[in-house]
Amino acid sequence: MTTANRTTVTTPTGDFVHALRSHARRYHDQHPFHVRMNAGRLSRRQIRGWVANRFYYQENIPRKDAAILSNCPDIEVRRRWIRRITDHDGGNPGEGGIEAWLRLGEAVGLAREAVTDHRYLIPGVRFAVDAYVNFARTRPWTEAVASSLTELFAPDLMARRLAAFERWYPWIDPEGLSYFRARLDQAPRDCEHALEVVTTHCLSAESQARAVDALSFKCDVLWSLMDAIDQAYRE
């Protein structure tokens, strides 16, 4: 597409960003399970169930990001996006977000193998996470980038979660919460880049609408994941 063509179909970035940000209303921080978690109303069994199941999301995030890299023809984007994979996988054994999540597991009383062998993994969680990875593999890379923008809303939830865990769940060693502390810095950096990517690459009304739809899809993924956990660990 020529620059001239592109100019004629460009729609206002402000409206686009507003449409993306307005998805905060559909974010999983408002899911009843998270509301109860942050109000200190979950049992040890429920916290353990959430940690064990969310691990499947954590371990699939770098695979999702590798799918985005493989579909992305833009070297500048790839150079920055690749950092997400090492943030989660770590540069060496014993480092990175997946390792930090396993330590969270230990802090809540779950042996590593009990988390890594998926013995507690609920079908609905597997289905939701697999749908997210599949989306990144099969959809245009800009849509997959847009779907990561739930992270715009994550830092608030992360801060509330940290405060809630320290206040309501003193049986969890605070050392185990380092994953969430790291995300307080990583999530704003990541979503700033993702927002820059979609606002520079999605210029037509149609591509912007598809980006917004991708973010809606991701809100559904996260909500479904929480529904599955909520239902499996009802008390």
Residues in the site for ligand PQQ, rule: CB under 6 A? Answer: 61, 148, 150-151, 154, 157, 183, 222
CB of 73 to ligand PQQ, least distance (A): 20
Could you tell me how far CA 177 lies from the centroid of its own chain?
17
Pick from 30, 57, 29: nearest CA to 154: 29
Minimum distance of ligand PQQ from residue 195's CB (angstroms): 13
Residue 44: which residues within 8 A CB-CB, separation 6 or more?
A: 108, 109, 171
Compare residues 53 and 148 and give the one whose CB is closer to ligand PQQ: 148
Q: How far is CA 42 from CA 34, 49, 164, 170, 232, in A?
A: 9, 10, 11, 13, 13
Structure tokens at 139: 């959809």
Least separation in angstroms between residue 102's CB and ligand PQQ is 14
CB of 15 to ligand PQQ, least distance (A): 23
Residue number with CB closer to ligand PQQ (128 or 157): 157
Beta carbon nearer to ligand PQQ, 159 or 205: 159
Nearer to ligand PQQ, 110 or 157 (CB): 157
Q: If DSSP codes are grouped into helix, strand and coil, which group holds residue 10? A: strand
CA distance 172 to 119: 22
Task: Report whether 100 contacts 78 (CB < 8 A).
Answer: no
To the nearest 5 percent, what fractions of the chain are helix, strand and coil? 80, 0, 20
Q: Work out how close the CB of 10 gets to ligand PQQ at its nearest, in angstroms, rounded to a whole number.
A: 27
Amino acid at 205: A
Q: Which is nearer to ligand PQQ, 107 or 222 (CB)?
A: 222
Residue with smaller CB distance to ligand PQQ, 150 or 224: 150
Residue whose beta carbon is closest to ligand PQQ: 150
Shortest Å, Cβ 190 to ligand PQQ: 7
